[in-house]
Amino acid sequence: MTQKPVMHSAHWGAFHAQREGEHLRVTPFPRDPDPSPLLQNFRHALHHPARVARPMVRRGWLENGPGPDQRRGADEYVAVSWEEACQRVAQELKRVGDAHGPAGIFGGSYGWSSAGRFHHAQSQVHRFLNTVMGGYVRSVNSYSSGAASVLLPHIVGDMTEIARRGVSWEEIAAHSDIVLAFGGLALKNSQVASGGLSEHTERGFMRQAAQRGTRFISVSPLKSDLPDEAQGEWLALRPGTDAAFMLGLLSVLIADGLTDEAFLARYCVGWPEMVAYLRGEEDGVVRDARWAAEICGISSEAIGTFARRLHGKRVLVTVAHALQRAEHGEQPVWLGLVLAAALGQPGLPGGGYTYALGALGHYGKHHNLVSFPALPQGKNGIDRLIPVARIADMLLNPGTPFDYNGRRLTYPHIRLAYWAGGNPFHHHQDLARLRRAFCQLDTLIVHESAWTASARHADIVLPATMTLEREDIGGAPTDRHLVAMQPVAAPYAEAKDDYTIFSELARRLGREEAFTEGRDARGWLQHHYRQLQEKLAAHQVTIPEFGQFWQQGVIELPQVKDGGRMINAFRADPEAAPLPTPSGKIEIFSATIAGFGYENCPGHPVWREPQQKPDADHPLWLIANQPATRLHSQLDFGEYSLSGKRGGREVCRLNSQDAAARGIADGDIIELYNDRGHVLAAARLTDAIMPGVVQLPTGAWYDPVDPTAARPLCRHGNPNVLTLDIGTSSLTQGCSGQITVVQVRKFAGEVTPVQAFIPPQ
């Protein structure tokens, strides 16, 4: 049966969806100039066998009750009624709450879930735990930018200013001579923005800028990090060595007298300390181009030529999220700013420093005049937190102290973790260790629409609706379209939306009114829309009534052109418009950070040897970057995601020389391995990746042959089996999953089919 098309939205674009029997016809929003192919992942999603159909309880938990259990991830599941599932969840929450209080519950529940702002799963969990349980242990920061989001406020300003308002694509197209992009500007990343992205404009802007004469330079081990439209240059350097390269560039600029000393003196603090470090006055190590060449694999002559090219040009420096998802990831972020300052560029149109341009569709865009209201989170009764990527450390080491941003905190003893809208077995590192960590819990509760590995490790799995099965409002602060997300289908099998589940649990725990405030989902949408109307009315802007918005499917919101950026005002008058740093200036040296006394992140940017680097046993760097065919692990079973696999397995790209040295041919099934585990993938040979580097994107659902193995073998291709679970530094404790070291060989064992999309027994 074919139905009328309805409007809907995802993190990767707005679209019309129309049922064709069990499948969907997905048509991109007509005003989107460059729609994302990720939309096609929805086509067969609604009735995919990987969907969770009924509430399920892990057999070991059902039979033995809550408690640490090594069978998590390897146990059977028993279907139960909603009545029984809710009763057991409510009872367990009450038990843990009574015995341990909110400090026994982890509700960090990291994850992107879906674009709708009301059904945003993480907000639902947080509101539920605050209003019903009195609070929870929370997580701070993100897997995307854990290092940068803590560092930037110390040295220049917060993420919103430096990433979202750093520069606009219009400005680049009009003014930039050189866009120096550390980590590139891959369109696979900017096709996504949390909350929705109705217009994909990056490709057009890059084409326009290149035609005017902007030179895009991508510094990366992968050629694919810069799209063809940019007509740019590829500078291949060893993974994780950008900081050394930037120090080399600074040394050349100083030696040749090409630094903008007037800018550095007026707008920055700490340049003398930086110069002293480069000259080796602290420790006798001179960090010049020859020193840098040894580390990053680019000749000292090439470093010299490169640095001189930057002088006298309108240069925009940007550093991708990827660079800071590594040990000492703070350093390239900081040095990118120092380089832009040394060239005297911050605050000039199309010049200076912007963090993570192109890493998300939000960046380089204009902002809506007012933002769409968020679901109120209630009050968390406790102040216990972890940096988000320290979850396994927390579960494995209760009571142990750790450092974070100048604070000495202690890991709480967590008994129950509640997760909705995220897939930790996608986003976390060292998955065998993560499994051991989850085995320490008394209870893990997960709401999921599909049998991800995270659902397969849970004690109670509650089937959640997909975004396509409920109504919501999609909108992002940088998207001028607000989308009425209309349901395309009835909920799959027994699935319910997160709000309905939490409302029922709140009722059983005697806190329904506190959680729902007497509204159903439609009531909240109307309430939030009304709040938006009021915010806009204060600016004399009128938008249609809710009913008309719902019928139209989309409305346009007013935006502000980002002319009055913080950095422009600062450049105009640094005394009148100081930066929000302790000195009011760009901090090349931060007395605050120096005061924390961290060896792995001192008071000015440095090069620190990482503990992970290639050796005889693991001679190759692995880049575990974001996938091009899906958002993270979402809809990995979708049509477009599957089209990127070979024989159902994820594709690993490696240089032809490295393949030849190992007798590997294109299409072979290869095994990547290190001390943490083994991963199978299909080999693709290419010269668009530098020798010594292999690349396997994240997001293939974890599919271990033996989930309990100390060094598991994932037959599908999830690189987080191999990545190391350490914080970037004591300052930020960010995720460092972007790179690791591995060996690769042709797989000699028995090849069994991928089973990631077959539900557990």
Helices (H), 585-723: 591-596, 639-643, 656-661
> Quick one: 198 or 720, whose CB is closer to ligand PGD?
720
- Residue 494 identity: E
The interface with ligand PGD within residues 694-723 (CB under 6 A) comprises: 698, 719-720, 723
Pattern 457-496, ligand PGD, x by CB under 6 A: -------x--x-----------------------------
Provide the minimum distance between the beta carbon of 251 and ligand PGD in the complex, in angstroms, as a whole number.
30
Q: Which is nearer to ligand PGD, 107 or 270 (CB)?
A: 107
Residue 355, token pair as written in the block: 């963090």
Q: Are 121 and 423 in contact (CB under 8 A)?
A: no
Binding segment for ligand PGD (CB under 6 A), chosen from 216-224, 566-574, 613-621, 629-637, is 629-637
Smallest distance from the beta carbon of 427 to ligand PGD, in angstroms?
Answer: 3
Stretch binding ligand PGD (CB under 6 A), from 214-222, 285-293, 422-430, 676-684: 422-430
Positive/negative CA dihedral, 291, 296, 301, 302: negative
> For residue 266, what is the DSSP state?
H
**Separation between Cα atoms, residue 95 and residue 205, nearest integer Å:** 56
Residue 174: CB minimum distance to ligand PGD, A? 30
The residue within the footprint of ligand PGD, chosen from 421, 605, 677, 717 (CB under 6 A), is: 421
420 near ligand PGD, judged by CB under 6 A: yes
Residue 448 CB, nearest distance to ligand PGD (Å)? 6
Residue 76 and residue 423: Cα distance in Å, rounded? Answer: 20
Choosing from 633, 641, 728, 730, the residue that interacts with ligand PGD (CB under 6 A) is: 633
Residue 10: CB atoms within 10 A of its CB come to: 28
Q: How many CA atoms lie within 13 A of 595 on its CB side?
A: 8
* Rounded distance between C-alpha atoms, residue 129 and residue 662, angstroms: 52
Which position among 39, 624, 672, 756 is part of the footprint of ligand PGD (CB under 6 A)?
624
With respect to ligand PGD, which residue has the nearer C-beta, 516 or 738?
A: 738
Q: With b meaning 16 or more CB within 10 Å and e meaning fewer, what string describes 321-333?
A: bbbbbbbbbbbbb
Residues 287 to 346 in contact with ligand PGD, rule: CB under 6 A: 325
634 binds ligand PGD (CB under 6 A): yes
Whose structure tokens read 């890059």?
Answer: 206
Which amino acid, one-letter code, is at 53? A
Dihedral over alpha carbons 550, 551, 554, 558 (to 10 degrees): -70
Nearer to ligand PGD, 85 or 338 (CB): 85
Binding to ligand PGD (CB under 6 A): which residues in 496-555?
A: 498
Residues 335 and 318: their CA atoms lie apart, in Å, by 10
Span of 54-62, 114-122, 225-233, 677-685 interacting with ligand PGD by CB under 6 A:
114-122
Closest-CA residue to 353 (of 322, 318, 311, 323): 318
- The answer for residues whose C-beta is within 8 angstroms of residue 214's C-beta and 6 or more apart is 172, 173, 176, 177, 178, 179
Smaller CB distance to ligand PGD: residue 655 or 738? 738
Q: How many residues bind ligand PGD (CB under 6 A)?
A: 38
Nearer to ligand PGD, 232 or 421 (CB): 421
**51 near ligand PGD, rule: CB under 6 A:** no
**Is 588 within 8 Å of 604 (Cβ atoms)?**
yes
Q: What is the DSSP letter of 161?
A: I
Please, which residue, 450 or 693, has the CB nearer to ligand PGD? Answer: 450
Tokens of 602: 């001192």
Task: Identify the H or E element spanning 508.
Answer: helix 498-508
* By the rule CB under 6 A, 448 interacts with ligand PGD: yes
User: In the window 718-757, what residues touch ligand PGD (CB under 6 A)?
Assistant: 719-720, 723, 737-738
Whole-angstrom distance, CA of residue 421 vs CA of residue 467: 11
Helix, strand, coil % over all residues of the chain, rounded to 5? 35, 20, 50
* Nearer to ligand PGD among residue 367 and residue 426 (C-beta): 426
Task: Tell me which stretch binds ligand PGD (CB under 6 A): 94-102, 142-150, 369-377, 502-510.
Answer: 142-150
Nearer to ligand PGD, 112 or 492 (CB): 112
Q: Quick one: 426 or 436, whose CB is closer to ligand PGD? A: 426
Stretch that binds ligand PGD, among 111-119, 277-285, 605-613, 656-664 (CB under 6 A): 111-119
Measured at the CA of 563, the angle between CA 560 and CA 565, to 5 degrees, comes to 100
Q: Which stretch binds ligand PGD (CB under 6 A): 26-34, 107-115, 506-514, 569-577?
A: 107-115
Shortest reach from residue 350's CB to ligand PGD, in Å:
27
User: What are the helix and strand counts (H, E) for the chain?
Assistant: 27, 32
Restricted to residues 143-202, the positions that interact with ligand PGD (CB under 6 A) are 143-144
CB contact at 8 A, 689 and 683: no
Q: Hey, what amino acid is at 126?
A: H
Applying CB under 6 A, does 450 fall inside the site for ligand PGD?
yes
Contact, 325 vs 735, CB < 8 A? yes
* Tokens standing for residue 570: 């600062």
SS3 annotation, 514-583: HHHCCCCHHHHHHHHHHHHHHHHHCCCCCCCCHHHHHHHCEEECCEECCCCCHHHHHHHCCCCCCCCCCC
According to the binding rule CB under 6 A, does residue 224 interact with ligand PGD? no
Binding to ligand PGD by residue 677, rule CB under 6 A?
A: no
The residues annotated as belonging to the active site are 110, 112
Please tell me whether residue 527 adopts helix, strand or coil conformation: helix
Closest Cα to residue 152, out of 348, 351, 356, 326? Answer: 356
Q: Which stretch binds ligand PGD (CB under 6 A): 153-161, 275-283, 419-427, 589-597?
A: 419-427
Sorted by sequence, the CB contacts under 8 Å of residue 125 that are 6+ apart come out as: 107, 109, 418, 419, 420, 421, 498, 502
Q: Is 112 in the site for ligand PGD (CB under 6 A)?
A: yes
Q: Which of residues 256-295 bind ligand PGD (CB under 6 A)?
A: none
Q: Does 88 bind ligand PGD (CB under 6 A)?
A: no
Q: How far is the CB of 631 from ligand PGD (least distance, A)?
A: 6
Give the dihedral sign, CA 102/105/111/115. Answer: negative
**Least distance CB 737 / ligand PGD (angstroms):** 3
Tell me the closest approach of the beta carbon of residue 749 to ligand PGD, in angstroms.
Answer: 24
Q: Which residues between 556 and 575 bind ligand PGD (CB under 6 A)? A: none
Nearest to ligand PGD of 139, 581 (CB atom):
139
Considering only residues 117 through 136, tell me which ones interact with ligand PGD, judged by CB under 6 A. 119, 121
Scanning 138-146, 277-285, 430-438, 478-486 for contacts with ligand PGD by CB under 6 A, the matching segment is 138-146
Cα 115 to Cα 569: distance, rounded to the nearest angstrom: 34
* Footprint on this chain of ligand PGD (rule: CB under 6 A): 110-114, 119, 121, 142-144, 325, 420-423, 426-427, 447-450, 452, 464, 467, 498, 624-626, 631-634, 698, 719-720, 723, 737-738
